[in-house]
Amino acid sequence: MITLEDISKSYDGKIALAHTTLDLAPERCQVLIGPSGCGKSTLLRLVAGLITPDSGRIKIGDTPMTPQTCRALRLRMGYVIQDGGLFPHLTAAGNVTLMARHLGWERERLRKRLAELAELTQLPLELLNRYPVQLSGGQRQRVGLMRALMLDPEVLLMDEPLGALDPIIRSRLQEDLKQIFQRLKKTVLLVTHDMGEAAYLGDEIALMRDGVILQRGSARDLLERPADPFVAEFIRAQRRLWVEDAERRL
């Protein structure tokens, strides 16, 4: 579904993403994890078409991403960032329907889609008339997810979507996201720094460092068969939190 062929990106001579080739299977959740500055958000922004690679090629399905195809490809992708990234001057409903209104959707179609997404994300309908400042962090994140899903995209890109939430709200939203992924069967590319979250949500995990993917596989692969000393160190540093998170869900 998403193919990266020898993609690289540098800023002022500093490598943000080394030459990287990656295939993401359809209807699965690929997680990018690693320390701050490892290149995971750069990779996500390249896929979203927000920045241009220095080398290589990106394809969504069979369509290469070029300046000519970028806008159409973006309409096939939903993008969720930390705290929802909502426009403060628009209501929740205004945020969710912004692109659909720009594309000329009729009022009844907008209403039906809003109701569907509110049910999917478990957001009470009465909150749709509130502004972002009037919503909790968890509610803003649900609205951000609704906005990303509004056009029923094939691909869902998520950049640290739960990073700003307290542990209890974060845990609840992780459970909701897992159900949504299973129900909608979207192709998901998720960035996180939390190994517990990666293990819970991801079908496959790619651990990154200094712009390089060190290892791809399941959480168990990374835990039991680390391909690099840093992989073992990273897993060991997070293992206690990961185990506690898994125990809390039992």
pLDDT digits over 103-161, tens only?
999 999 999 999 999 999 999 999 999 999 999 999 999 999 999 999 999 999 999 98
**Cβ contacts of 113 within 8 Å, gap of 6 or more:** 97, 100, 105, 150
Distance CA 112, CA 181 (A): 21
What's the pTM?
Answer: 0.91
pLDDT digits over 193-208, tens only?
888 899 999 999 999 9
Could you give the C-alpha distances from 197 to 27, 163, 174, 239, in angstroms and in order? 18, 10, 7, 12
Candidates 3.40.50.300, 3.40.190.10, 3.40.50.2000, 3.90.1300.10; CATH matching 25-50+62-76+155-250: 3.40.50.300
Q: Domain extents for the chain?
A: 25-50+62-76+155-250, 86-152
* DSSP letter (8 states) at residue 106: -
Distance CA 145, CA 5 (A): 29
Residues 121, 146: contact at Cβ < 8 Å?
yes
